[in-house]
Structure 1
Amino acid sequence: MFEIPKDKNRFAHIKTISIIIITCISLSFIALFFGKNALSSSSSNSPGSLTEVNQGPMLVTVSGYGKLVPKTQRGINTMSSGHIIEVLQQPGNVVNKGDVIIQLNNPKLQRTMETSELALLEQQSNLIQIMAESRQALDDQQGKMRLAKVRLALAQAELSAHEKLKQSQVISVLDLHKAQVAWEQDNAILQMETSRLDTLQQTRKAINNSAQYRLEKAQKQRELLVSEVEQLSIRASMDGMLTELANDLDIGRHLEEGQIVGMIADLSQYYARINITANDAEFVIPGLPAKVAIKGIDIVGNVTRVEPTVNNGSVEIDISFNGNLPSSVRPNIDVNAIIEIADHQNTLVIKRPVGVIRGHRQYSFFVLNDELEQFERRDISIGDIAGEQAQVTAGLHQGERLLLQVPNRLQDRIQFSEGELYD
């Protein structure tokens, strides 16, 4: 037998209908809410909206973004060539002066240093030998001089005796002449030995100096090689943070002398390097006050540098700080900055009309003449611009009103009535 299908549960059917009705009502409320917001936002500067000239303060600022940069940074260079055997530090590590960052190995350099030690010992021995030879040569020559002086003294005594004997007619003139010749001969020998001593002193001094220079050269050569071997340990040149390290520092890779392998930053002093638009940079000069938001804290500072060139539509500026920074500050963190261009305590201010893009220009606006109930075109000078506010420097008075946006059909008119605005 076939059974007749039963009807669905009535309550389940009612429940389904209720859910559909509630969903439709919710969507209607959402559409109405966003529609009103869109309408209100689009009509803020719609044709027919007015702005009134008011007297009051106006703070003009320029905003930008950038990074926190350490004032002192030093590159890490290889002073000796070699192969990497160990990388001991990584970016972000805090290091002290002298800490080893990368260890290199250069067997050829180490062998050369050992050879230089032997060369140094050889030159030391050579200097000792030469100085000993110099002392012996000078002593020998001084001995010859003393002997020559003795011989000359004997010849002098013999000559004096012969002169007395000649006066007594004991000896002949020939004997006296022989004694005189012997004295002259011994005197010439003494003069020659004296000259030889002077020449020998100069010669041996030059030889000693040459040996001393060769020793000093060997010492310098060894010191340089020892320094090069020590520099196979690439060390931190100051206290700070290792902010950069080359990506290709693999074990076994050869590094050439003078190659840059990283960067160390001093953590005690920072400045902010900020990018602002080229249009805003026109009004920024060194010395202007600024605030830099660092990890939710506003730090007061001053503009210290404005880059003279434009790069990709932006200009770089530097901001130095007047106070201490948070202890959690680290290099290259992102920061936002606000630079105070001008602070007007009492000036004429209006809501910025459509078309007013740049300050310190003259614009043509329609100003409401309340007595005639019509709008009249007038040239007005705009000074600074701050967000949705604009400063009026000439052409308007306090309390006057002007159109924020003019319909296309009325833009070429000189004046028109209030009624025409809404036709």
Structure 2
Amino acid sequence: MFEIPEDRSHSQTFKVVIIVLAIVAILTLLITIFTEQAFSKSVSNPSYITGVVSRSALTVAISGYGKLVPKTQRGINTISSGHIVEVLQQPGNVVSKGEVILLLNNPKLQRAMETSELALLEEQSNLQLVKAESRQALEDQLGMIRLAKVRLALAQAELTAHEKLKENQVISTLDLHKAKVAWEKEDAVLQMESSRLITLKQTRKSIDESAMYRLEKAKKQRELLVSEVEQLSITASMDGMLTELADDLDIGRYLDEGQVVGMIADLSSYYARINITASDAEFVAPGLLATVSIKGVDMPGLVSRVEPTVTNGSVEIDISFTGSLPASVRPNIDVNAVIEVASHQDALVIERPVGVIRGHRDYSLFVLNEARQQFETRHVSIGDISGDKALVVKGLAQNEQILLQVPSHLASRQQFSIGEIDE
């Protein structure tokens, strides 16, 4: 059998109506609240961003990175060639002046040194012999002169006697003449022997000097070979740290003269070698203040050198320190540096608009005309730039507002109202 549905009561219908009306009221209230919030946000937060020209200090600095470099570094070279016997030091070791780093062996060089010692003894003996011969030759010549003087004196006495006898007519003129000739002969012999003595002195002096030169040559040769043998022990030329040592220093390997085997650094003084970008380098000059961060410690310094050439887009600068460095510093540790390029006090400063990339340029910026409620283009000279701040040189006044980012659809306009920004 089919059941006939009963009619709803009036009370049930009334409840349904009340529920529906309540839901509609709640929805209406929510829509109203969200609409007001959206409107308030659109009023308080406009879609465009402006910057206000203000007066403040502006410090312009650039940063770089690099390493701590010792002021004094010396290469370690081989003076003598030889085979490696022992490697006594490794990079990072602190060494004293004269401390042995490498030991070499060269038997041929040692034999040459022994031979030079024998040659030196030979030249010493030769010099003694030459000097003895010189003394003997000079003594002999002096004896000849003394003998010639005696003969001359005898001839003089005979001549005097003959002159008296001739006066007394005892001897003839011929006898007197013979006596004069004999005297002249003995006088000539004396003059000849005296001249021979002068020549002999010069000759023996040259011979002595030649022997002395050969002796000095033998001494120098021996000293050189002794030094070369001593240089088979490669030592530190100063106090410091062994920062580098060649990788292929195997025992038994042969090293040539003048080969670089390492580097030693003085630990008493350092400077920082910093790399900066080529675009920043044009603003850096010697004498600028700088701060170098060494293991978290900031050390003051001054720019001492700017490399004139660009390598791979960067430029090297050197920073010397004005204070004492921490005792823990070591060569070649990584450091960061900040160089103060310029400092301005009480200057006109703005937030850097989009498109303002480089300093010391003129830019066309949109400046707010409050009376007309529109942005208008104006030529503005920008000076130094530091981060998101820029120095105004000309074209803006304090408290003026500029548009920091121009919408693309208004970029070609010279002016536009505020309302057009959101269109």
TM-score tier, shorter chain, comes to 0.7 to 0.9
Query: Could you tell me which residue of structure 1 aligns to residue 321 of structure 2?
Result: 321
Query: Could you tell me which residue of structure 2 aligns to residue 61 of structure 1?
Result: 61
Q: Provide the C-alpha distance between the structure 1 equivalents of 2:410 and 2:72, rounded to a whole number of angstroms.
A: 61
Q: Provide the C-alpha distance between the structure 2 equivalents of 1:400 and 1:220, rounded to a whole number of angstroms.
A: 86
Query: Could you tell me which residue of structure 1 aligns to residue 131 of structure 2?
Result: 131
SS state at 1:324 partner? coil
1:350-373 Cα shifts (integer Å, max 9, x gaps): 111111111111111211112211
Q: How does 1:14-413 map to 2 (within 5 A)?
A: 48-413=48-413
Q: Provide the C-alpha distance between the structure 2 equivalents of 1:134 and 1:121, rounded to a whole number of angstroms.
A: 20
Q: Provide the C-alpha distance between the structure 1 equivalents of 2:100 and 2:306, rounded to a whole number of angstroms.
A: 38
How much does 1:47 deviate?
5.8
Q: Provide the C-alpha distance between the structure 2 equivalents of 1:274 and 1:345, rounded to a whole number of angstroms.
A: 28
- Unaligned 5+ segments in structure 1 are 1-45
Q: Which amino acid aligns with 1:376?
A: E
Q: Provide the C-alpha distance between the structure 2 equivalents of 1:376 and 1:338, rounded to a whole number of angstroms.
A: 38
Q: Which amino acid aligns with 1:115?
A: T
How much does 1:408 deviate?
0.9
Query: Could you tell me which residue of structure 2 aligns to residue 8 of structure 1?
Result: none
Whether the aligned pair in 2 keeps the contact of 1:61 and 1:339 (CA below 8 Å) is: yes
SS state at 1:129 partner? helix
How much does 1:236 deviate?
1.0
Q: Provide the C-alpha distance between the structure 2 equivalents of 1:144 and 1:247, rounded to a whole number of angstroms.
A: 76
Q: Provide the C-alpha distance between the structure 2 equivalents of 1:202 and 1:386, rounded to a whole number of angstroms.
A: 85
The answer to which of 353-362 and 169-178 deviates more is 169-178
Q: Provide the C-alpha distance between the structure 2 equivalents of 1:191 and 1:384, rounded to a whole number of angstroms.
A: 99
Q: Provide the C-alpha distance between the structure 1 equivalents of 2:389 and 2:185, rounded to a whole number of angstroms.
A: 118
How much does 1:127 deviate?
0.7
Q: Provide the C-alpha distance between the structure 1 equivalents of 2:177 and 2:278, rounded to a whole number of angstroms.
A: 112
- Unaligned 5+ segments in structure 2 are 1-45
How much does 1:192 deviate?
2.0
SS state at 1:187 partner? helix
SS state at 1:144 partner? helix
Whether the aligned pair in 2 keeps the contact of 1:47 and 1:407 (CA below 8 Å) is: no
How much does 1:109 deviate?
0.9
SS state at 1:280 partner? helix
Q: Provide the C-alpha distance between the structure 1 equivalents of 2:59 and 2:343, rounded to a whole number of angstroms.
A: 5
Q: Provide the C-alpha distance between the structure 2 equivalents of 1:73 and 1:161, rounded to a whole number of angstroms.
A: 92
Q: Provide the C-alpha distance between the structure 2 equivalents of 1:244 and 1:261, rounded to a whole number of angstroms.
A: 8
Q: Provide the C-alpha distance between the structure 1 equivalents of 2:402 and 2:180, rounded to a whole number of angstroms.
A: 135
Q: Provide the C-alpha distance between the structure 1 equivalents of 2:73 and 2:416, rounded to a whole number of angstroms.
A: 66
Q: Which amino acid aligns with 2:132?
A: A
How much does 1:179 deviate?
2.5
Alpha carbons of 1:74 and 1:47: their partners in 2 closer, same or farther (altered >3 Å)? farther
How much does 1:421 deviate?
1.0
Q: Provide the C-alpha distance between the structure 2 equivalents of 1:174 and 1:372, rounded to a whole number of angstroms.
A: 152
How much does 1:175 deviate?
2.9
- Give the alignment's Cα RMSD to 1 decimal: 1.4
Q: Which amino acid aligns with 2:134?
A: S
Query: Could you tell me which residue of structure 1 aligns to residue 40 of structure 2?
Result: none
SS state at 1:109 partner? helix
Whether the aligned pair in 2 keeps the contact of 1:68 and 1:270 (CA below 8 Å) is: yes
Name the TM-score, length of structure 1 as normaliser: 0.87
How much does 1:286 deviate?
1.1
1:231-284 Cα shifts (integer Å, max 9, x gaps): 111111111111111111111111111111111111111111111111111211
How much does 1:182 deviate?
2.3
Q: Which has the larger radius of gyration?
A: 2
Q: Which amino acid aligns with 1:114?
A: E
Q: Which amino acid aligns with 2:279?
A: N
Q: Which amino acid aligns with 1:256?
A: D
Query: Could you tell me which residue of structure 2 aligns to residue 35 of structure 1?
Result: none
Whether the aligned pair in 2 keeps the contact of 1:74 and 1:264 (CA below 8 Å) is: yes
How much does 1:189 deviate?
2.0
SS state at 2:138 partner? helix
Q: Which amino acid aligns with 2:402?
A: L
How much does 1:177 deviate?
2.9
Whether the aligned pair in 2 keeps the contact of 1:47 and 1:406 (CA below 8 Å) is: no
How much does 1:163 deviate?
1.8
How much does 1:184 deviate?
2.3
SS state at 1:316 partner? strand
Q: Provide the C-alpha distance between the structure 2 equivalents of 1:130 and 1:415, rounded to a whole number of angstroms.
A: 110
1:71-99 Cα shifts (integer Å, max 9, x gaps): 11111111111111111111111111111
Q: Provide the C-alpha distance between the structure 2 equivalents of 1:378 and 1:227, rounded to a whole number of angstroms.
A: 79
Q: Provide the C-alpha distance between the structure 1 equivalents of 2:54 and 2:181, rounded to a whole number of angstroms.
A: 129
How much does 1:186 deviate?
2.0
Query: Could you tell me which residue of structure 1 aligns to residue 38 of structure 2?
Result: none
Whether the aligned pair in 2 keeps the contact of 1:47 and 1:404 (CA below 8 Å) is: no
1:131-164 Cα shifts (integer Å, max 9, x gaps): 1111111111111211121112112112211221
SS state at 2:298 partner? strand
Q: Provide the C-alpha distance between the structure 2 equivalents of 1:113 and 1:386, rounded to a whole number of angstroms.
A: 69
Name the TM-score, length of structure 2 as normaliser: 0.87
The answer to which of 253-262 and 326-335 deviates more is 253-262
The answer to which of 212-221 and 156-165 deviates more is 156-165
How much does 1:346 deviate?
0.7
Alpha carbons of 1:184 and 1:102: their partners in 2 closer, same or farther (altered >3 Å)? same
